[in-house]
Amino acid sequence: GQNIDQPTEMTATEGAIVQINCTYQTSGFNGLFWYQQHAGEAPTFLSYNVLDGLEEKGRFSSFLSRSKGYSYLLLKELQMKDSASYLCAPKAAGNKLTFGGGTRVLVKP
Amino acid sequence: DVKVTQSSRYLVKRTGEKVFLECVQDMDHENMFWYRQDPGLGLRLIYFSYDVKMKEKGDIPEGYSVSREKKERFSLILESASTNQTSMYLCASSLTGPSQPQHFGDGTRLSIL
């Protein structure tokens, strides 16, 4: 089975940086996804990590440590539109994702 | 762009009814998935399918069944709806491969009265 732990909620100011941590325990590991979900909308793909290290994609970066069962999503230069839930989803062998409960990020002016 | 379309945005049904939720994708994806999303519980996998006429149980299949007669269509069936199946239902599809992301539909908010 898989256990995924991420904070329930975080608040930050526009222009700031926020780091969303995710720890996981999984039987078999085939990479880790991060998704963004605005209220009332579908989750949308942000990033995928399978090797240790940092993947940067514009204002968003994602980090993975396989040995520690740890990932984080880094949001830089926060904008109001970044207010959303962020879902950590490790992938087990095969094509099956397991989602964490999500971290709700509130960006304040 | 990948398009995953769910037949209804909102649906209200009565306890005991047989309920069909339909999902269609237009990108020839092999894999399709049904999730439900509840506050505090996140997205939970109900059923998934790797190919036409193939299905696999997810983490919470009880009370549900699925049908995949065509590659582009994946149906979720609530055999006899109960109030604890009131939820947001999300369909997703993907290509095969570890790095392939799942693409989600807009969801169906189902209320069972």
- Residue A109 and residue A16 in contact, taking contact as beta carbons nearer than 8 Å: no
- Per the CB < 8 Å rule, is B101 touching A48? yes
Say which residues have a Cβ less than 8 Å from residue A102's Cβ, sequence separation at least 6: A6, A37, A85, A86, A87, B42
Residue A94 confidence (pLDDT)? 67
- Residues of chain B contacting A31 with CB distance shorter than 8 Å: 98-99
Q: Cβ distance A86 to A20 under 8 Å?
A: yes
Token digits of residue B18: 């047989």
Is residue A106 over pLDDT 80? yes
Chain segment B59-89, per-residue pLDDT in tens: 999 999 999 999 999 999 999 999 999 999 9
Mutate which of B6, B104, B106 to test chain A, going by most A C-beta atoms within 10 A? B104
Q: How do residues A22-68 score in pLDDT, each as one tens digit?
A: 999 987 888 999 999 999 899 999 999 999 999 999 999 999 999 99
Chain B residue with the nearest C-alpha to that of A2: B59
Is residue B12 over pLDDT 80?
yes
Structure tokens at B39: 């506050």
| Residue A2 in this model has a pLDDT that exceeds 80 | no
Q: What is the average per-residue pLDDT within B35-52? A: 93
